[in-house]
Amino acid sequence: MNRRIIAGVTALAAAGVMAVGGCSSKASQGAAPVSGASKAKVAANAPKVKIMVGGLSKQIYLPYMLAQQLGYYAKAGVNVSLVDEPAGGDATKNMIAGQVDGVGGFYDHNIALQALGKSSESVVSMLQIPGEVELCRSDLKGKVTSPADWKGRHLGITDTGSSTDFLTQYLSTKNGVSPSTETRVGVGAGSTFIAAMKQKAIDCGMTTEPTVSQVLSDKTGFILLDMRTAAGSRAALGGTYPATSLYMTTAYVTSHKDVVQKLVNAYVATLKWIQAHNGSQIADVMPADYYAGVGKPAYAKALDSEKGIFNPTGIMPPDGPKTCLAVQQAFNDTVKGKTIDLTKTYTNEFVTAASPLS
């Protein structure tokens, strides 16, 4: 039986939000613009850019809000409106529809878009590795020991078409399980993910920090696969897998080079700032509701433990696009058999030209 991804389970999980406590910030409760706490003033004539991020409160997307908190958008001379959308696939659709100018999401979406005849590109690479973790319910320890045990299971993903959906299907295929024999369930992240696991709506699920720390803290689940380290990512995916990036349609990049450069200047500065500060210092800058669920010390500890996921330069890892393509071609019928020109899915032009912020 070919099982399709279930939509709407998030509503079930949401019923348990009050019971488990939320880690999602106000920024993660709907696709609404987010205002930052930074007092930096944006010039009245600064170009306006709307960026939709696939889960603003996730640590893998930290640079977007951090750049705002540090006042780097204002210093770079660009007026950025951050919009939260828990699923990267939906954010991509909004970009193609012209509802937003860019997406904070996984680079791999650019490969899938090219296979569909759409042209988009990453303009700055923020994560060298996915930072994703596959968690399984504690009562399944010893019963689920690898993705080879996923047949017939309910697997949590962010949503249909998200990178967690892509990676889950790949891991299933790699381990001899057809994705058609499992049920992938869109449960978002944070409180909705945790509620789905507590209510046994999912057996295992892919998520990131700070959700991981919350699940482990009360022993709701255990780690099956850990892609917060280079070694873990290579073992699971076969190579370097660049994840978070800012990507935009090629048409926008070509016609707004000055704006894109300002954005990249802000993000390159933010990536450098991350490398020069520890988890506690970073947490001090972030909005309090970003770590409300897990607690500030645990949030900071998680940042310290996975700091290596962040790209210190913004340059696309040379072998990364090939790994992403191999993953896509292993399971994605849209990409299989298609000739993909990887050089058109990203550019280092703006990163190499980035200038320091004054």
Checking if the pLDDT of 85 tops 90, the result is: no
pLDDT of residue 67: 98
52 and 91 Cβ atoms separated by less than 8 Å: yes
Mean pLDDT along residues 294-314: 94
Q: How confident is the model at residue 160 (pLDDT cuts 50, 70, 90)?
A: confident
Q: Which CATH number fits domain 24-130+241-352: 3.40.50.300, 3.40.605.10, 3.30.360.10, 3.40.190.10?
A: 3.40.190.10
d(C-alpha 162, C-alpha 88), whole Å: 5
Q: From CA 357, how far away is CA 6, in angstroms rounded?
A: 45
Bridge partners (DSSP) listed for residue 52: 83, 103
Residue 346 contacts residue 107 (beta carbons within 8 Å): yes
Lowest mean pLDDT among 23-27, 103-107, 143-147, 210-214: 23-27
Helix H or strand E encompassing 105: strand 102-106
Sign of the dihedral defined by the CA atoms of residues 119, 270, 41, 300, in that order: positive
The confidence band for 151, taking pLDDT boundaries of 50, 70 and 90, is very high
Q: What is the average pLDDT value for the chain, to the nearest integer?
A: 88
The amino acid at residue 247 is Y
User: Residue 283's pLDDT band (boundaries 50, 70, 90)?
Assistant: very high
Residue 174: which residues within 8 A CB-CB, separation 6 or more? 147, 330
Task: Return the CATH fold of 132-237.
Answer: D-Maltodextrin-Binding Protein; domain 2 (3.40.190)
**Rounded to an integer, what distance in angstroms lies between the CA atom of residue 91 and that of residue 198?**
28
* pLDDT higher at 13 or 222: 222
Residues forming CATH 3.40.190.10 domain(s) in the chain: 24-130+241-352, 132-237
- Three-state DSSP state, 106: strand
pLDDT at 27: 37
Mean pLDDT of 318-336: 94
pLDDT at 9 over 90: no
| For the ranges 28-32, 45-49, 85-89, the one whose mean pLDDT is highest | 45-49
Q: How far apart are the first and last CA of the chain?
A: 59
Region of poorest pLDDT, from 50-59, 251-260, 263-272: 50-59
Q: What is the pLDDT of residue 14?
A: 36
- pLDDT score of 198: 97
**Residue 95 vs residues 7, 65, 190: alpha-carbon distances, Å:** 21, 19, 24
What pLDDT score was predicted for residue 53?
95
CA distance 131 to 128: 9
Q: Whole-model pTM?
A: 0.86
- pLDDT greater at residue 89 or residue 116: 116
86 pLDDT more than 70: no
